[in-house]
Amino acid sequence: MSKILFVMSGADHWTLADGTRHPTGFWAEEAVAPYEAFTAAGHEIVVATPGGVVPTVDKASLAPEVNGGRQGADRVAAALDSMKELRRPLALEDVRLDDYAAVFYPGGHGPMEDLAVDATSGRLLVDVLRSGKPLAVVCHGPAALLAATTEDGANAFAGYRVTAFTNAEETQGGLADRAKWLLETRLVDAGLEVRTGEPWAPHVIEDRTLLTGQNPASSAPLAAELLKKLG
């Protein structure tokens, strides 16, 4: 059994352009679907957050309409309740990369608030890239890549092909015109090559050891691709 590190946002809000706080956190499906895939394959999950804060689930991600109905919503909520690792996260500062076979970043708008500017997470991502270990990042999780700068100030992932929650999806979700910045745009500005698929449809991109998924529907396919890399 190997360990997979889940690096998760510690934020419970996303600050919008007008200064208001949009309640958020991590998106349930993006933690539950990979967790279930990885544990079913025999891997152990360890959760880490900035400061060891217990991560907050975005309550919108527990709604029936984003889980295929009430039965799906109840199943996701029950799965979260059973994920004891969420209740005792490591502090990101205490993570030893050598302990893990792979690293996974779920999304939700939370990473837009904290991981996008978290230097500890940024250093970890640079180290993961240099280690050759598989790294999987989904939806708004790629915001964390923005903090992964090298000694010369460049982004460590510049030139990598990635996908992430798109400007079109943010617009359709109703928050694009209220955001301080948009993830797809900022990734392009940092030198990453963003490849977008149809809004809300599963879309996964692999470039070397980096795997990215576009949206919540990409979580399970992304997890499957990471498991292939782990053999």
- DSSP letters, 22-71, are EE--B-HHHHHHHHHHHHHTT-EEEEEEGGGPPPPBPGGGGSGGGTTSHH
How far is residue 198 CA from its own chain's centroid? 19
pLDDT band for 231, please (50, 70, 90 cuts). Answer: confident
Q: Does the pLDDT of residue 1 top 90, yes or no?
A: no
Q: What is the mean pLDDT of residues 176-199?
A: 98
Residues 51-102 pLDDT 10s: 999 999 999 999 999 999 999 999 999 999 999 999 999 999 999 999 999 9
Give burial (CB, 10 Å; 0-12/13-18/19+) of 122: buried
Please give the average per-residue pLDDT across 187-216, as a whole number.
98
The answer to whether residue 180 scores a pLDDT higher than 90 is: yes
Return the DSSP state at 89: P
| Among candidate residues 223, 231, 217, 229, the one with its CA nearest the CA of residue 45 | 223
| C-beta atoms surrounding 193 within 10 Å | 15
Is 151 exposed, middle or buried (CB count within 10 Å of its CB: 0-12, 13-18, 19+)? Answer: exposed
pLDDT in tens, 97-148: 999 999 999 999 999 999 999 999 999 999 999 999 999 999 999 999 999 9
Instruction: Work out the percent of the chain whose per-residue pLDDT is above 90.
Output: 99
pLDDT in tens, 27-50: 999 999 999 999 999 999 999 999
| pLDDT at residue 177 in the model | 97
Closest CA to 22 of 106, 88, 110, 93: 110
Residue 8 has pLDDT above 80, yes or no: yes
pLDDT exceeds cutoff 80 at 184: yes
